Structure 1
Amino acid sequence: MSATPLPSRRLVLGMAAAVPLSMTGALTIGSQSASAATASPFVMAYFTQSPRGLGTDYGLHLAVSTDGLQWMPLNQNNPVVTPTGGDGGLRDPFILPKQDGTFVVMATNLKGTDWTRQSQVIHVWDSADLRSFDNYRLLKLHSMATHSWAPEAFWDASRGQYAIIYSAVNSSGHNVIMVNYTTDFHTVTSPQVFFDPGYDVIDGSLAMDVNGVNYLYFKARNNLVGARSASLDRGSFTVFTSGLAPQGGIEGPILAQASGTWYLWGDANALFYTWQTSDLSTGNWTATDRRVYTQPLNSKHADIKPIPQTVYDNVVAKWGKPAWNRLKSYNFPDRYWRHADHLGRIDPYPFDPYTDSQWKLVPGLADSSGVSFQSVNQPTRYLRHAYYQLRLDINDGTTRFAQDATFHRIAGLADPSWSSFRSHNHPDRYIRHYNHQLRIDPISTAVGKADATFSIWY
């Protein structure tokens, strides 16, 4: 949640050969790595936003991951539930695994970006397994003339209660992180200040009992800043890091651990940045290579939680895998395939229309062992080469068109865990980008191999 809008500005597959196509035509992808297959899976909750609003939706969206880095949207990236009360929309959703093994979902009550909106309530649902969302209610946290932004919660064992923390302006005149305590998420204690370093802070995210220390990351002055405490007592956290931010600022920190590494996620106007460390106590973070993580399409101000394998399997079965894919450039991993003016190119994420970047990878029109790229938002059109440039043209049913629109997927020329695509009727040429345009060329140099290597994900 941000009262100052931020300016606008990511998987890896295993064996690249002989990849089967599902009955929907979308690529079927198995385990991403041997380690991911044995690690705890994860769920991400988010709402969606795109630069011109074409992909903006204020409902609860879910994505899942086997490694905490590559995220697969569920329900075709549509919401799984939308609030029926309050402002009729949510921001900043949060999932809490409760002590009894069920879940509670909370979110800011705000549809849109009216930062002056003073809502004393938050949205709350109960969920047994993230397949259904029950007992919807508005939970009142305070009676102050201020908001209740970015609610999160944790179990405070010393109190035998859950703590709900959120951002609000109190008598200090600036945003602080408040806390209410509850046993049932139906009634709460009176609000109290949880953390106030003396300046405006919002969007608190906790990592608890890491070698006996609790860590709280938050947004301050458009940076992500860390505080720590040996307890969960109000007023006990002290700042110990300087800020992290790309140019233009960032919000919505998420602390998440995967395979022994801690990741700090942040949201810069629906573009996620990620840093990593092996030791939270140092406060030192290294930027994560954008090649190794892919956020859900249009995801905004998210939350990440580990879940049991059975919950992962059940939500995928319930909500379904996407019927489309996106393709990311190897050497420009901030850029994705898209069509614009019926020409193929790679452009920086995010952009609108975002549907220009969604493709159905269907059996090759000229050879079913190959692949053709069918546009999702213009389904009569396919990527084909013409004078070696990739165009989005209507399938005219001719043999020539079918051959021009068929490619053979091979192990990535720059990285065999990624993918490259060889032309069916010009087998000495591969799809590559050049000046950000997609075309087919012979490939011999290291630069050319990198230009011709892509990931297939969602």
Structure 2
Amino acid sequence: MNGTPLSRRHFLGAAATVPLAATGALALGAGTARAATDSAYVMCYFTESPNMLAANYGLHLAVSTDGLQWTPLNQNAPVATPTAGSLGLRDPFILRKQDGTFVVLATDLYGTDWTYVSQYIHVWDSTDLRTFTGYRRMKLHDMDTHAWAPEAFWDAGRGTYGVIYSAVNDSGHNVIMINYTADFITAGDPQVFFDPGYDVIDGDLAVGVSGVNYLYFKKNSTLVGARSTSLDPGSFTEFSTAVSHNGTEAPTLVKSLTSSSTWYLWGDTWDPNGVFYAWQTSALSAGTWTALDQKTYTQPLNSKHCGIQPITSTEYANLVAKWGTPTWNRLKSYNYPARYVRHSNFVGRIDPYAFDPYTDGMWTLVPGLADSSGVSFQSVNYPTRYLRHYNYQLELDENDSTTAFAQDATFYRTAGLADSSWSSFRSYNNPTRYIRHSNYVLRIDPISTSTDQADATFYVGY
């Protein structure tokens, strides 16, 4: 749900979402709907930033071929927006249904008004995630409490879908509830799905993994797993080691499409910074996770509380063709992968993600002003300004159309000096010098040591 931590309010939602084993795409168990050739992923999310400049409570999509590096679609703008209830969503989730089409669920909440109570969730149908039809709200209960962080799965034993969500029931604390539905239009009576006797939110399921079902959830700002050999309400028992990164929620389980045993666990910080962290395991049954190096994954800009669903290569291509990829880039530091290139007071530097104005870290990589085979970095929020070196330090300056400016603002993109799969940038008019950071400030320097090489290496992504 991505909001205040449980210590600051009695109820709190956060939707987990998984690429859903349950949805079928992730789980390899019987009774799941799985595309025959899943080879990529789609992520759904909403957006916020530290000062809420990026706050947008519509449905956003991004795609990935490995489930780790993500490309936002539609310029990171929403592809659908609720038209009823609060007129906003949080915690979206995508399920591939048994017929191969998709259903999208989301919390009915605009912004961070935690006093707003809705017993409904937003629902859309989609054949291909390029069009969204049949928008409606589905009522889940009559209790005086929320219905947050919805996720759905196919229950083969019952021959119907289950919708799990966070709510406060008669116990007085947050539990994971469930309603069964055949059509995502009307829901059966609410039942308690998981109540270990303490606050739990953000349930995320992986169904039918070697005969076992796994439920991950938020407990005391950590991510914890429970498991059961059935999908019956009340059958799950906690078993895993807790993982966290300074307060984490919204667990999302993702099965690798290239390794039969590898799983990833995504988590989101509860505050508006919305920094995602990821862990990996080679056996979901072990219940232990190893934190991934942030160099290995990049979340979509300003994304919050995601859901991830496997898709086919055709679906991936069709999504990109429909919504387009960003016309801008972000640059991540190699040896400080929590930091991104940005301008601040017109000085080039690397700062921790997330920051506002978030547009300070967005760049249009244009043909080099002095040599079109090179590259120049045009600011997105100051489009008449470019990164250029002045006394070897990088500044964001107005293009005065002089030869000197064009040369100072032109760089040659090369294979990363510390990692050839990343990038480094050599100065046009000082060809022995490369862009690097020093005390987090960008400058051009000669590169000789391994530290210099790491300082001069960047990931060009989104």
Q: TM-score, normalised on structure 1?
A: 0.92
Q: 2:437 aligns with which of 424, 433, 439?
A: 433
Partner of 1:266: 267
- What letter matches 1:302 in structure 2? C
- Deviations along 1:351-389, one digit per CA (max 9) or x if unpaired, are 000000000111000001100000011000000000000
For the residues of structure 2 that align with 1:241 and 1:96, how far apart are their CA atoms? 25
- What letter matches 1:251 in structure 2? E
Partner of 2:395: 391
State the shift of 1:114 in Å.
1.8
- Quote the RMSD (CA, aligned, Å): 1.2
Partner of 1:190: 189
Equivalent pairs: percent with the same residue? Answer: 70
Partner of 1:74: 73
Partner of 2:64: 65
Contact 2:155 2:161 in 1 (8 A): yes
Query: 1:355 and 2:359 equivalent?
Result: yes
Q: 1:416 aligns with which of 413, 420, 423?
A: 420
State the 4+ residue runs in structure 1 displaced beyond 6 angstroms.
none
Aligned residues: 427
Partner of 1:251: 249
State the shift of 1:242 in Å.
3.1
| Mapping of residues 271-350 of structure 1, within 5 Å | 271-350=275-354
Taking structure 1 as reference, are residues 2 and 332 closer, same or farther at Cα in structure 2, changes over 3 Å only?
closer
- What letter matches 2:135 in structure 1? Y
Contact 1:179 1:192 in 2 (8 A): yes
State the shift of 1:446 in Å.
0.7
Taking structure 1 as reference, are residues 288 and 89 closer, same or farther at Cα in structure 2, changes over 3 Å only?
same
Query: The residue matched to 2:389 in structure 1 has which SS?
Result: strand
- What letter matches 1:296 in structure 2? P
- Deviations along 1:39-93, one digit per CA (max 9) or x if unpaired, are 7100000000100000110000000001100000000000001100000000000
Contact 2:38 2:312 in 1 (8 A): no
Contact 1:342 1:391 in 2 (8 A): yes
State the shift of 1:3 in Å.
5.5
- What letter matches 2:438 in structure 1? Y
Partner of 1:23: none
For the residues of structure 1 that align with 2:240 and 2:98, how far apart are their CA atoms? 31
- Deviations along 1:274-306, one digit per CA (max 9) or x if unpaired, are 000010111110001100100000000000110
- What letter matches 1:254 in structure 2? T
Contact 1:6 1:250 in 2 (8 A): no
Unaligned runs of 5+ in 2: 8-36
For the residues of structure 1 that align with 2:243 and 2:281, how far apart are their CA atoms? 13
Query: The residue matched to 1:40 in structure 2 has which SS?
Result: strand
For the residues of structure 2 that align with 1:192 and 1:222, how far apart are their CA atoms? 25
Taking structure 1 as reference, are residues 385 and 254 closer, same or farther at Cα in structure 2, changes over 3 Å only?
same
Contact 2:41 2:309 in 1 (8 A): yes
State the shift of 1:246 in Å.
1.3
Query: The residue matched to 1:310 in structure 2 has which SS?
Result: helix
For the residues of structure 1 that align with 2:225 and 2:106, how far apart are their CA atoms? 23
Partner of 1:133: 132
| Mapping of residues 194-205 of structure 1, within 5 Å | 194-205=193-204
Contact 2:89 2:106 in 1 (8 A): yes
| Mapping of residues 111-130 of structure 1, within 5 Å | 111-130=110-129
Contact 1:39 1:66 in 2 (8 A): no
Partner of 1:153: 152
Query: The residue matched to 1:307 in structure 2 has which SS?
Result: strand
Query: 1:452 and 2:453 equivalent?
Result: no
Unaligned runs of 5+ in 1: 8-37
For the residues of structure 2 that align with 1:167 and 1:426, how far apart are their CA atoms? 58
- Deviations along 1:118-151, one digit per CA (max 9) or x if unpaired, are 2100000000100011010010000000000000
